[in-house]
A = this chain, B = another copy of it.
Amino acid sequence: MGSDDGLKSFLEPKSVALVGVSRRTGQASFNILENLLSHGYRGTVYPVNPHAGEILGIRTYPSVKQIPADVDLAVISTPRELVPPLIKECTDKDIRAIVVVAQGFADADEEGKKLQKEVVTIARAGGARVVGPNTFGTANAFIDFSSAFVPVEMARVPVGLICQSGFFFIGFPGLRLIGKGIDLGNACDVDFVDGLESFEDDPQIRLIALHIEGVRDGRRFLEAARRVAQKKPVLVLKTGRSEQAARMARSHTGSLTGNDEVWQAALSSCGLIRVDDIDELSDLVRAFSCLPPMKGNRVGVVSFTGGLGIVAVDSCERNDLELAKLSPQAKQTIADMSPPWLNIGNPVDAWPAVSSQASFEQMTKALATNLRALLADPQVDALILMATAFTPAFARDLAEEILETVAAFPHKPLVSYLYGPAVEEARAILNGSGKTMSFPTLERTIRTLSQMARHHRFKS
Which of chain B's residues have a CB closer than 8 A to the CB of A347?
248
| Interface status of A310 (Cβ within 8 A of chain B) | yes
Residue of B151, B153, B308, B341 touching A165 (CB-CB under 8 A) = B308
Q: Is the CB of B112 within 8 A of A166?
A: no
Which of chain B's residues have a CB closer than 8 A to the CB of A172?
419-420, 423
| Interface status of A107 (Cβ within 8 A of chain B) | yes
Q: Is the CB of A166 within 8 A of B419?
A: no
Query: How many Å from the CB of A68 to the closest CB on chain B?
Result: 33
Query: How many Å from the CB of A228 to the closest CB on chain B?
Result: 23
Q: Is the CB of B311 within 8 A of A359?
A: no
Determine the distance from Cα of A126 to Cα of B362 in the docked complex, in whole angstroms: 41
Which of chain B's residues have a CB closer than 8 A to the CB of A253?
306
Within 8 A of B (CB), among A292-327: 305-311, 313-314, 317-318, 323
Residue of B111, B307, B394 touching A252 (CB-CB under 8 A) = B307
Q: What is the oligomeric copy number?
A: 2
Which of A111, A239, A363, A424 counts the most B-chain CB atoms under 10 A from its CB?
A239
Q: Is the CB of A313 within 8 A of B242?
A: yes
The segment from A58-66, A263-271, A350-358, A369-377 found at the interface with B is A350-358
Query: How many Å from the CB of A325 to the closest CB on chain B?
Result: 12
| Interface status of A213 (Cβ within 8 A of chain B) | yes
7 residue pairs, one from A and one from B, having the closest CB atoms: A165-B307, A245-B313, A108-B341, A242-B317, A252-B306, A245-B314, A104-B341
Q: Is the CB of B307 within 8 A of A213?
A: yes
Determine the distance from Cα of A134 to Cα of B305 in the docked complex, in whole angstroms: 10
Query: How many Å from the CB of A348 to the closest CB on chain B?
Result: 12
Q: Is the CB of B388 within 8 A of A248?
A: no
Which of chain B's residues have a CB closer than 8 A to the CB of A28?
357-360, 362-363, 394
| Interface status of A249 (Cβ within 8 A of chain B) | yes
Query: How many Å from the CB of A439 to the closest CB on chain B?
Result: 12
Determine the distance from Cα of A48 to Cα of B40 in the docked complex, in whole angstroms: 68
Q: Is the CB of A317 within 8 A of B245?
A: yes
Query: How many Å from the CB of A96 to the closest CB on chain B?
Result: 27
Within 8 A of B (CB), among A103-129: 103-104, 107-109, 111-112
Residue of B248, B309, B363 touching A248 (CB-CB under 8 A) = B309
Residue of B213, B306, B317 touching A310 (CB-CB under 8 A) = B213
Query: How many Å from the CB of A304 to the closest CB on chain B?
Result: 8
Q: Is the CB of B109 within 8 A of A341?
A: yes
Residue of B134, B166, B307, B363 touching A164 (CB-CB under 8 A) = B307
Within 8 A of B (CB), among A152-187: 153, 163-168, 170-173
Query: How many Å from the CB of A436 to the closest CB on chain B?
Result: 20
| Interface status of A279 (Cβ within 8 A of chain B) | yes
Given contacts A28-B362, A170-B388, contact A443 B277 (CB under 8 A): yes
Q: Is the CB of B278 within 8 A of A314?
A: no
| Interface status of A240 (Cβ within 8 A of chain B) | yes
A-B contacts, 21 of them at CB < 8 A, read A28-B363, A28-B394, A103-B352, A153-B421, A164-B307, A166-B307, A167-B307, A171-B419, A172-B419, A172-B420, A172-B423, A240-B313, A241-B314, A242-B318, A245-B313, A245-B314, A248-B345, A252-B309, A252-B310, A278-B441, A279-B441
Which of chain B's residues have a CB closer than 8 A to the CB of A305?
165-167
* Binary CB contact string for chain A from 205 to 226 against chain B (1 if under 8 A, 0 otherwise): 0000001010000000000000
Which of chain B's residues have a CB closer than 8 A to the CB of A442?
277-278
Determine the distance from Cα of A172 to Cα of B355 in the docked complex, in whole angstroms: 20
Residue of B151, B355, B420 touching A30 (CB-CB under 8 A) = B355
18 more A-B residue pairs beyond the given contacts A172-B420, A240-B313, with a C-beta to C-beta distance below 8 A: A28-B360, A103-B351, A150-B390, A165-B305, A166-B305, A167-B305, A168-B307, A170-B420, A171-B421, A173-B421, A211-B307, A239-B307, A239-B310, A241-B314, A245-B317, A248-B313, A252-B306, A252-B309
Query: How many Å from the CB of A329 to the closest CB on chain B?
Result: 22
Which of chain B's residues have a CB closer than 8 A to the CB of A43?
none
| Interface status of A393 (Cβ within 8 A of chain B) | yes
Q: Is the CB of B245 within 8 A of A310?
A: yes
Determine the distance from Cα of A103 to Cα of B339 in the docked complex, in whole angstroms: 10
Query: How many Å from the CB of A422 to the closest CB on chain B?
Result: 9
| Interface status of A342 (Cβ within 8 A of chain B) | yes
